[in-house]
């Protein structure tokens, strides 16, 4: 058991009630074999995850997970195994149906909704999503009224960079946490490769905006917290996740609709592994496969990611490295830090160490985060 393995993204279906322009799950050529059945989802994914960690949570995603006929059955099954569920949803069914109440009931309250919002102006939001922000905000309102925790997910690309700082600033004024996801050229996004942000965007816009928000889940990369200070913080706060920075293959894994296993949800359909829950036990892939082991150990990282003071506490985004060079152990092309070697400290180290401390205190001061982490 590795109780610091924290989260498995489970894209249970590619079906969706929206047609977002660069949806990373939509593809013209879905893998053969079809969606995992209810029994497969339970035995080959959820039961297997319970073998990996007693502290694991599942992020049910899609497509739109709630469109599956067994959506609530799977949520209830995960809850019976003691798992917290995150439900990554576009919010439409939360607004149009009784989904919030049913999900709360199915999980006995052990759930968090994850609501996507890329900008707080309708035009920018709709350029990346097949919907205005109103649906997601109404879904958040319903969650709030029914006592269901939620946070926002902002996918960052060149398309929403201009208003990113402003969007994050507004969300901070509501006290609702947010998580960032990098746009990757996956699925329908392959036709939008030009929207991938670069190291200059990261240095000038994205990193300052994320760093300034004490409520952002600070797993973003590059991340320059002091390795020594983080060890001490982990002891002090008794944190259950492996660390911050990139968690691909460490605290995170992902399973696709047809059972593919990858170290991070951004890497589904990328061809970076051939592993599939239908052919290999998920628990074995996570704990013993050479790829997951290499990502956990980080001794084989290449380029500046392998020659950096922050190799263990940041590690660079493995998905962005893969889409850039085809090598999952390659260097993160969006990192703006230029170390001479492992002795070079970032000017941002103290600020990000303090940010880590604020974030950990936030996690430990209230539910549901205290229980989830």
Partner 1 sequence: MSQSTSDLELLLAGLRGDDKEEGGLSEILAALILKKNRENTFRFLITPYAERVVLLPQCLRSTTACQAEERDGEYICKGCGACKIAEITRRANELGYLGTRVLKGGSAIPRLIKETQAKAVLGIACPIEGALGIMVCEHAGVPVFCVPLLRAGCADTDVDLDDVRSALEAMAS
Nearer to partner 1 by Cβ, of 33 and 122: the residue is: 122
Report how far residue 31's alpha carbon sits from residue 52's, in angstroms, rounded to the nearest whole number: 26
* Cβ–Cβ under 8 Å, residues 49 and 85: no
Nearer to partner 1 by Cβ, of 165 and 357: the residue is: 165
**Tokens, residue 67:** 């469109």
E strands, 235-331, are: 252-255, 261-262
Provide the minimum distance between the beta carbon of 210 and partner 1 in the complex, in angstroms, as a whole number: 15
Provide the minimum distance between the beta carbon of 361 and partner 1 in the complex, in angstroms, as a whole number: 12
- The angle that helices 349-365 and 227-237 make with each other, rounded to 10 degrees, is 10
Nearer to partner 1 by Cβ, of 140 and 363: the residue is: 140
Q: Could you give phi then psi for residue 5, rounded to 5 degrees?
A: -75, 120
Report how far residue 89's alpha carbon sits from residue 263's, in angstroms, rounded to the nearest whole number: 21
* Cβ–Cβ under 8 Å, residues 291 and 310: no
Nearer to partner 1 by Cβ, of 123 and 274: the residue is: 123
Nearer to partner 1 by Cβ, of 135 and 233: the residue is: 135
Provide the minimum distance between the beta carbon of 174 and partner 1 in the complex, in angstroms, as a whole number: 5
Provide the minimum distance between the beta carbon of 304 and partner 1 in the complex, in angstroms, as a whole number: 33
Provide the minimum distance between the beta carbon of 214 and partner 1 in the complex, in angstroms, as a whole number: 12
Provide the minimum distance between the beta carbon of 352 and partner 1 in the complex, in angstroms, as a whole number: 21
Nearer to partner 1 by Cβ, of 72 and 362: the residue is: 362
Question: Closest by alpha carbon to 337, among 206, 200, 212, 208?
Answer: 200
Nearer to partner 1 by Cβ, of 70 and 138: the residue is: 138
E strands, the chain, are: 7-11, 57-61, 84-88, 111-116, 150-156, 178-182, 252-255, 261-262
Residues 6 or more apart in contact with residue 287 via CB below 8 angstroms: 2, 52
Nearer to partner 1 by Cβ, of 174 and 299: the residue is: 174
Provide the minimum distance between the beta carbon of 138 and partner 1 in the complex, in angstroms, as a whole number: 5
Provide the minimum distance between the beta carbon of 215 and partner 1 in the complex, in angstroms, as a whole number: 10
Residue with tokens 């992020």: 59
Order of strands, edge to edge, in the sheet holding 261-262? 178-182, 150-156, 111-116, 84-88, 57-61, 7-11, 252-255, 261-262
Provide the minimum distance between the beta carbon of 180 and partner 1 in the complex, in angstroms, as a whole number: 17
**Site of interaction with partner 1 (CB under 8 A):** 120-122, 132-134, 137-138, 140-141, 144, 147, 165-167, 169-170, 173-176, 367
Nearer to partner 1 by Cβ, of 164 and 301: the residue is: 164
Reduce the DSSP state of residue 122 to 3 states and report it.
helix
Report how far residue 251's alpha carbon sits from residue 286's, in angstroms, rounded to the nearest whole number: 10
Question: Closest by alpha carbon to 112, among 75, 85, 83, 92?
Answer: 85
């Amino acid at each position: 058991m590795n109780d610091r393995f924290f989260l498995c993204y489970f894209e249970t279906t590619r079906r969706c009630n929206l047609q977002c322009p660069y949806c990373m799950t939509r593809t013209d050529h879905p893998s053969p074999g079809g969606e995992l059945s209810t029994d497969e989802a339970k035995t080959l994914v959820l039961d297997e995850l319970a073998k990996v960690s007693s502290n694991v949570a599942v992020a049910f995603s899609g497509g739109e997970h709630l469109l599956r006929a067994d959506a609530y059955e799977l949520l209830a099954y995960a809850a019976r195994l003691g798992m917290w569920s995150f439900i990554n949803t576009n919010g439409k069914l939360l607004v149009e149906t009784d989904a919030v109440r049913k999900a709360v009931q199915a999980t006995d309250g052990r759930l968090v909704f994850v609501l996507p919002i890329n900008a707080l102006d309708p035009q920018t939001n709709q350029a990346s999503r097949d919907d205005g922000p109103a649906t997601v905000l109404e879904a958040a309102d319903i969650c709030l009224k029914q006592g269901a925790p939620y946070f926002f997910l902002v996918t960052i690309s060149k398309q929403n960079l201009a208003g990113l700082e402003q969007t994050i600033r507004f969300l901070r004024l509501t006290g609702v946490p947010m998580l960032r996801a990098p746009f990757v050229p996956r699925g329908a996004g392959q036709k939008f490769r030009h929207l991938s942000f670069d190291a200059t965007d990261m240095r000038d816009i994205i990193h300052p905006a994320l760093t300034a928000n004490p409520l952002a889940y600070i797993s973003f990369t590059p991340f320059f917290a002091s390795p020594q200070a983080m060890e001490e913080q982990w002891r002090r706060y008794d944190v259950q996740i492996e660390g911050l920075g990139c968690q691909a293959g460490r605290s995170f894994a992902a399973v696709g609709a047809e059972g593919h296993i990858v170290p991070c949800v951004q890497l589904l359909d990328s061809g970076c592994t051939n592993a599939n829950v239908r052919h290999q036990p998920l628990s074995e892939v996570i704990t013993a496969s050479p790829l997951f082991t290499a990502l956990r150990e980080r001794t084989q990282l290449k380029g500046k990611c392998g020659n950096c003071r922050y190799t263990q506490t940041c590690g660079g985004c493995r998905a962005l490295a893969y889409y850039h060079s085809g090598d999952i152990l390659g260097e993160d092309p969006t990192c703006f830090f230029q170390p001479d070697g492992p002795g070079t400290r970032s000017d941002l180290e103290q600020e990000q160490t303090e940010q880590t401390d604020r974030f950990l205190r936030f996690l430990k001061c209230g539910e549901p985060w205290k229980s989830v982490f």
